[in-house]
Amino acid sequence: MSTLRPWVRIADVVLIVVFVAVISLPAAGMLLGWRLGPALQERRAPAPLPRLGAVPLQALPEAVDAYYRDHFGFRDAFIYGHNRLRHRLLRASSDKVLHGRGDWLFYTGDRMFKDFMGLDPFTPEQLEAWRAALEGRQAWLAERGIRYLFVVAPNKAMIYPELLPDHIRSFRGRSRCEQLAEYLRDHSTVRIVTMDEAMIEAKARHIVYHANDSHWNNRGALVACRAVCARLHAWFPEIAAAADEAFEVSLGRHEGGLGRMLGLEAEYAIDAEFLAPAGGWRAVQEDVSPEADYLWTPNRITGTVSAEVRTNAAAQRRLLMFHDSFGRYHLNELLGEHFSRSVFLFRRSDFESLRTLVEAARPDVVIDELVERSLQEPLETHPEWEAARRRRP
């Protein structure tokens, strides 16, 4: 036994050295700027190194800790490895992303699957609030000779329920959108422009939603554009959506938002189809900076405004559209082809912004677009809209 003691001591020393080296690597990597593996794409700025004197002394430990958490050596590699093991190999879902069949991912936020199962229905009071909000907008705009459309983008799960896990798919219920559409059909002149049936019909020929995203793809946006144009055509016969043959198709990589939420955007990146008119886009995007565009002055809209303006000299009508992220996923550029001037605002409509832009843009039609999961709270009401609603026969 005595002859083994030197080797035991050597093994102990080696173990200690290896242990110290391993636990020191992150600090060394941080100091020397070493990187390992892919960089994470985080939608936030990392915590800065606090400067003495610029941070109160009592807040300094927390600021230093935040800096270290965002900059310790090989941080991206450790997080990527953890994400890959947990989500890619073990297929564990996160609090916002659910693994479906194959490589399909589904967003779970905003009580999405409670709605899918019919477990979060509207109350009678909520349905009436929606009716008042939509009818008020419609009546107020009608007094100014402007048409109004309310458009709902379907949740991806409603179009691809067969790709959901069995324990969710088998409990499909009546959604809020279906409940609201039926209520308005029975009690109101307002109609929701939905496209579920058109999307389900189109998916037999093409993929209409990104597998790694909660949004529709170019094909799905074209289906949505056609659904909107079909309603507009009854008012403005010159508006008609183009056929598939009018578009050229190219392939490109799409790193979806759901893959990014898992920290595996490159792992879940897909080849996606991108559509463009065969003759080129007719609508031209304009500069809409607050300093340059007449829409924002003199009645500057309060709050953060993300706007897009497109002009097409060959068209006749004017459009004002309030939208969420589904508008940005190609619907805006497709709709912009049908109007002489299209103003798109990435926000929910409210009285001040609608009044200001109706006066400035003089639209022929106003569209409110929301994704189905955003129907939890009704759109804003306003006394002037309510008065217009009560004046309607």
The 3-class SS string of 237-304 reads: CCCCCCCHHHEEEEEEEECCHHHHHCCCCCCCCEEEEEEEECCCCCCEEECCCCCCCHHHCCCCCCCC
Which residues lie below 8 Å from residue 318, measured CB to CB, with a gap of 6+? 339, 340, 341, 342, 343, 361, 362, 363, 364, 365
Beta pairing partners, 370: 152
Regarding whether 133 and 110 lie in a shared domain, the answer is yes
* 351 belongs to a structural domain: yes
Q: What number of other Cβ atoms are within 10 A of residue 388's Cβ?
A: 20
Which residue has 């497709």 as its token pair? 334
183 and 85 housed in the same domain: no
81 located within any domain: yes
User: Domain boundary at 92, 117, 152, which?
Assistant: 92
Instruction: Summarize pLDDT for 68-86 with one digit per residue, the tens.
Output: 665 665 566 555 555 555 5
User: Is 228 a domain residue?
Assistant: no
- The verdict on 41 and 173 lying in the same domain is no
The verdict on 287 and 359 lying in the same domain is yes
- How would you classify the pairing of strands 247-254 and 192-193? unpaired
For 74, which DSSP code?
T
Concatenating the DSSP letter of every residue in 5-41 gives HHHHHHHHHHHHHHHHHHHHHHHHHHHHT---SPPP-
Position 155 in a domain: yes
Collapsed DSSP state (helix, strand, coil) of residue 370: strand
Strands (E), 103-232: 105-107, 147-153, 192-193
Do 297 and 179 share a structural domain? Answer: yes
Q: Please report whether residue 261 resides in a domain.
A: no
Closest CA to 270 of 259, 286, 285, 282: 259
Domain end, chosen from 50, 70, 92, is at 92
If one counts the domains in the chain, the total is 2
Inter-residue contact 308 to 331 (CB < 8 Å): no
Handedness of CA 321, 327, 328, 332 (dihedral sign): negative
Among 92, 122, 151, the domain-final residue is 92
Structural domain of residue 318, as residue ranges? 105-196+233-239+281-391
What pLDDT, on the 0 to 100 scale, is given for residue 237? 95
> What pLDDT score does 36 carry?
64
- Report the alpha-carbon distance of residue 331 to residue 329 in Å, rounded: 6
- Domain check: are 58 and 180 in the same one? no
How many whole angstroms separate alpha carbon 243 and alpha carbon 14?
Answer: 71
Same domain for 162 and 40: no
Q: Which amino acid is at 88?
A: R
* 290 plus 351 within the same structural domain: yes
- For 135-163, what is each residue's pLDDT tens digit? 999 999 999 999 999 999 999 999 999 99
Q: Let me know whether 82 and 124 are in one domain.
A: no
Residues 180 and 293 in one domain: yes
Phi and psi of 190, rounded to 5°?
-80, 140
pLDDT along the chain (393 residues), means of 10: 64 75 65 62 66 69 66 58 56 77 92 92 95 96 97 97 92 94 94 93 96 96 96 95 91 89 82 93 80 45 66 95 94 96 91 89 96 93 92 79
Query: Residue 294 has which token pair?
Result: 């007449």
DSSP per-residue letters across 162-192? GGS-HHHHTT----HHHHHHHHHHHH-S--E
Whether residues 123 and 187 share a domain: the answer is: yes
Q: How far apart are the first and last CA of the chain?
A: 104
Is residue 127 included in any domain, yes or no?
Answer: yes
Q: How far apart are CA 187 and CA 205, in angstroms?
A: 36
pLDDT score recorded for residue 301: 45
- pTM for the predicted model, two decimal places: 0.80
Is residue 180 assigned to a domain?
A: yes
Token output for 318:
């004017």
Of 385, 389, 393, 338, the closest CA to residue 364 belongs to 338
In a domain, 298, yes or no: yes
What pLDDT, on the 0 to 100 scale, is given for residue 294?
45
Q: Please indicate, yes or no, whether residues 83 and 143 belong to a single structural domain of this protein.
A: no
